[in-house]
A and B are shown apart, each in its own frame.
Chain A
């Protein structure tokens, strides 16, 4: 029996300033799973995310976010913002080769009458283990077609895979 989780598109980049998966969100699915592996940065940096609409990367002050950072060696901390230009700090790159990974769910990107929602879970090595559990919303009722990841500084190396949850 065919499964309901279907591969859509992938992208990879090495030491790039940002990496996009374009034209990966369509009317075919309402929920997408985005996985990021082999994540490394050239310097210690947060990993931020933006969505892509028909005009390109959405960098307007229309994102809300709430992210809990779980440190293995100290108290947890919170990232919370409204009306910002990206969903910032969905993960972290330690500027080394030990890596990080991200798993995201994106809801309703293609619906032109709805905002686009995401949940995020990731872990990273920054000299210690750091985990991330968060949510974000791009608060414009519009069609979103892709997703863009970028570091807060330096360059990024990563592989992105996008899957859709089929509903019949």
Chain B
């Protein structure tokens, strides 16, 4: 029997890069993005994300997001914002060997020309302070047109240094 989670695209970094793009969303199925061992080149930098349309990362101020921040050494906190230029991870990664981010993102309605693109995120990292933390929440790009992928980049022009990013289709 054929499986229902089908790989669409993947990128594994072998050197520093300004951004990673995964495209190939072209059906009304839900999709899933995984990230493992994602690291940044500059200390205390986040990973930011945008949706792509026709392969191009959308830099408009149309991103809303809301997360619960789970922190191993402090009180949990809320992250929320509207009309932003990107979806912000708020992970403050460092440059230590294991100061990395790992995540699962589910993407919904991306292929719709009349609905917003939505996603949920669960993420776990060790930050620049060598403490474990994570995020649980969701985001949307408030433009009613089809999106075909996602783009990741480091905060404030920091390069991404490591990681394997993979896009899967959850086939109906």
Contact = CB atoms under 8 A, between A and B. Distances in A.
Interface of A: 1-6, 30-31, 64-68, 78, 80-82, 105, 107-108, 111, 113-115, 117-119, 121, 133-137, 139, 141, 165-168
Given A4-B3, A166-B7, A141 B132 contact: no
Nearest to B133: A66
Nearest to A65: B72
Interface stretch (B56-64, B118-126, B138-146): B118-126
Interface string B1-24: 011111100101000000000000
Given A67-B70, A113-B97, A107 B7 contact: no
A64 B123 CA distance: 15
10 contacts: A5-B4, A6-B3, A31-B34, A78-B76, A115-B100, A115-B126, A135-B70, A166-B7, A167-B164, A167-B166
Interface in B25-53: 34, 36-37
B71 interface: yes
Interface of B: 2-7, 10, 12, 34, 36-37, 68, 70-76, 97-98, 100, 102, 104, 122-126, 130-134, 136, 164, 166, 168
A30 B164 contact: yes
Given A4-B7, A82-B131, A135-B133, A68 B98 contact: no
Contact of B72 (A82, A113, A118): A82
Contacts of A1: 2-3, 6
Prevailing SS type, chain B contact patch:
strand
A82 B126 CA distance: 12
Contact of A118 (B98, B124, B133, B168): B124
Prevailing SS type, chain A contact patch:
strand
Contact of B7 (A66, A121, A168): A168
